[in-house]
């Protein structure tokens, strides 16, 4: 099995709102595989949170940076679960 990262967003009440994962086996220069996967999973997770909370019209108007800022301001919790990484 390939190593990867699973990210889960829970709201302040502890309810799971969205999840995302990344099992792509590439990493940007200067980053470990786990760091690259975590970054990509976080971007996908933020988009999934926006999709869960917003209409498709609003979601389509937001880029990745907007999504990350909004999710950060929502104040929920992101749980990152490494899968199959040696230091996991």
To which H or E segment does residue 55 belong?
A: none
The SS3 of residue 30 is coil
For the chain, which residues make up each domain, given as ranges?
4-83
Q: Which pTM value belongs to this model? A: 0.91
SS3 content of the chain, % helix, strand, coil (to 5): 45, 25, 35
Which residues fall within 8 angstroms of residue 16, CB to CB, at 6 or more apart? 8, 9, 10
Please state the length of the chain.
Answer: 88
Question: What are 8-66's pLDDT values in tens digits?
Answer: 999 999 999 999 999 999 988 999 999 999 999 999 999 999 999 999 999 999 999 99
**Does the pLDDT of residue 7 top 70, yes or no?**
yes
């Amino acid at each position: 099995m390939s190593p990867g990262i699973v990210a889960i967003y829970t709201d302040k009440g502890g309810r799971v709102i969205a999840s995302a994962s990344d099992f792509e086996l590439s990493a940007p220069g200067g980053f470990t595989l786990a760091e690259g996967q975590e970054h990509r999973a976080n971007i996908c997770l933020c988009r999934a949170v926006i999709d869960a909370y917003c209409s498709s019209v609003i979601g389509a108007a937001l880029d990745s940076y907007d999504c990350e800022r909004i999710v950060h301001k929502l104040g929920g919790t992101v749980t990152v679960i490494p899968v199959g990484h040696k230091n996991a």
